Amino acid sequence: MAGDQRQFVNFLFCKVDPQWLFLPDEERRQGKEKFLEVVEAFSPRVLVVSYTTLGIRADADLMLWRISEDLDLFSEMSAQFLNAGLGKYLRTAYSYLSMTKTSVYVSEHQHEGQEGTRVRLVTPGKKRYLFVYPFVKIRDWYRLDVKTRQEMMNQHIRVGHKYPSVKLNTTYSFGLDDQEFVVAFESDKPGDFLDLVMDLRETEASSYTARDIPTFTCIRKNLREILDSLG
């Protein structure tokens, strides 16, 4: 694997138009099949991990975590499935674009899957729950000297290592999207993630946070199951 290999990452949140529920059963069945065919046609060029937010978020029903080495494929894929079957009734509620990048605060590999791991690539979808939010720091953070920032991040990383059940995927959006980072935490234990976030609020680095909302709680499910749950 090439040392400079990086990925583009997209978190696509969609809401279903209520008119979808009033279509005849057979039309909905065919619509779901057409949608699945488009998603499958882009595999393995685009890795897609599907999550439901139905009943959890009022503004989104499903999320597709898409990963590819080719940015153009996100646009091509969306153009096809938004014009095929169910896709015609999907509204994009949120879409966050980012890339993988080696962490500047970790000099060597630490606990695999944990915050503080020095990685360029993400391998998602191993846990049942995913917690996603865009993240922006205040500009004062970048005016601090490197040593000061590293000391604060060391504390941040130590807190993360207290929760081995939570895996952090940090991706970078500088210049690509409105936020600076998109963070995605995977865990089978939502309570551990809640406790982690509470602990992180007490770290010095957290005082340099400008924005870390909206926050999405997502449940991993097979895409066909998710589509069936939508009617």
Domain tally for the chain?
Answer: 2
> Which residue stretches of the chain have pLDDT < 50?
1-2, 108-118
Rounded CA-CA distance 208/203 in Å is 10
What range does the domain containing 182 cover?
104-217
CATH code, 183? 3.30.70.1030
- Return d(Cα 205, Cα 117) in angstroms, integer: 18
Asked if residue 48 and residue 146 are part of one domain, the reply reads: no
Provide the pLDDT for residue 126: 82
Specify which residues 85 forms β-bridges with: none
Q: Please report the pLDDT score of residue 97 as a whole number.
A: 98
Percent of the chain whose predicted confidence (pLDDT) is above 90 = 84
Phi, psi (deg, nearest 5) at residue 193: -65, -45
Torsion of CA 54, 59, 62, 67, to 10 degrees: -150
- Which tens digit of pLDDT belongs to each residue from 62-92? 999 999 999 999 999 999 998 889 999 999 9
Same domain, 109 and 213: yes
Q: What is the pLDDT of residue 82?
A: 86
Report the alpha-carbon distance of residue 205 to residue 207 in Å, rounded. 5
Q: Are 187 and 166 in contact (CB under 8 A)?
A: yes
Give this prediction's pTM: 0.91
In angstroms, the Cα distances linking 131 to 41, 65, 185, 197 are: 27, 12, 5, 11
Angle ∠(14,16,18) on CA atoms, nearest 5: 160
pLDDT at 105: 72
Q: How far apart are CA 192 and CA 37, in angstroms?
A: 37
Please list the residues that pair with 95 across neighbouring strands. 12
Q: Are residues 51 and 154 in the same domain?
A: no
- Decide which of 55, 78, 98 is a domain's last residue: 98
